[in-house]
A and B are shown apart, each in its own frame.
Chain A
């Protein structure tokens, strides 16, 4: 089977740094993706990792360790608009093709 875990909720202060962790167990692993989703809206793509290491994109960075089944999303210089759910998703390859399986999401609240 497959299993993806993330903390349910996190709180941080405006201007701070926050790290959202994601652990996964899956077959056919083909990449780890992070999405942001504001309440009532569709998810938007933030970052992805296929190989081990850190990928940096402005205020957002994502890290992957395939051997540990572990990833994190790092958000720097937090802004109020960063309050949202952050979804970790695993891209899988199986006999039917590729698909994406999402974790439960982490609701981040940024406080002034």
Chain B
């Protein structure tokens, strides 16, 4: 089946530094990828929709200058947390739409393994 590869799985950084998280679609092309953030014991919050070859669409309240998204190819989207602060510590998960069945119009979200960011 379709696999979304995400790394790093864990990253610890100092306050004020930037961290890049990569999300790759393996064996399929993803023109659109979704970036979610999840705080402990809370649900997934959509941050932005990453579009290949164009600007990302950010959800209300998400700072586009702080969370830089680049979708330079059909298999790679990156999220860069710039000037990270302790409140940015969270679980970041990317996902892509894949067809449920071959020849089917139905699609579901397949998730990467997630990246746990800890900002000291």
Within 8 A of B (CB), among A65-110: 87, 89, 96-105, 107
CB distance A41 to B46 under 8 Å? Answer: no
User: Which chain B residue has the least Cβ–Cβ distance from A6?
Assistant: B43
- Cβ of A50 within 8 Å of any chain B Cβ, yes or no, is yes
Q: Mark A17-37, 1 if CB is under 8 A from B, else 0.
A: 000000000000001010100
Counting chain B residues whose Cβ lies within 8 A of the other chain, the interface size class is 20 to 34
Q: Looking at chain B's contact residues, is the secondary structure mostly helix, strand, loop, or mixed?
A: strand
User: Which chain A residue has the least Cβ–Cβ distance from B31?
Assistant: A97
User: Which chain A residue has the least Cβ–Cβ distance from B100?
Assistant: A48
- Our pick among A40, A43, A48 for the contact of B44 (Cβ within 8 Å) is A43
Within 8 A of A (CB), among B20-70: 32, 34, 36, 41-46, 49, 57
Q: Looking at chain A's contact residues, is the secondary structure mostly helix, strand, loop, or mixed?
A: strand
- Cβ of B97 within 8 Å of any chain A Cβ, yes or no, is yes
CB distance B109 to A33 under 8 Å? Answer: yes
Q: How far is the CA of A41 from the CA of B32 in the complex (A)?
A: 22
- Cβ of B93 within 8 Å of any chain A Cβ, yes or no, is yes
CB distance B49 to A45 under 8 Å? Answer: no
Q: How far is the CA of A86 from the CA of B113 in the complex (A)?
A: 17
- Our pick among A44, A97, A105 for the contact of B43 (Cβ within 8 Å) is A105
CB distance B113 to A41 under 8 Å? Answer: yes
Q: How far is the CA of A104 from the CA of B34 in the complex (A)?
A: 18
Q: How far is the CA of A98 from the CA of B30 in the complex (A)?
A: 14
- Our pick among A41, A96, A100 for the contact of B109 (Cβ within 8 Å) is A100
CB distance A45 to B110 under 8 Å? Answer: yes
How far, in Å, is B79 (CB) from chain A's closest CB?
15
How far, in Å, is A70 (CB) from chain B's closest CB?
18
Across the interface, which residues of B come within 8 angstroms of A43, CB to CB?
Answer: 44, 93, 109, 111
Q: 14 pairs across A/B with beta carbons < 8 Å?
A: A31-B106, A35-B109, A43-B44, A43-B109, A44-B111, A45-B108, A87-B44, A99-B46, A100-B46, A102-B43, A103-B43, A104-B43, A105-B43, A107-B41
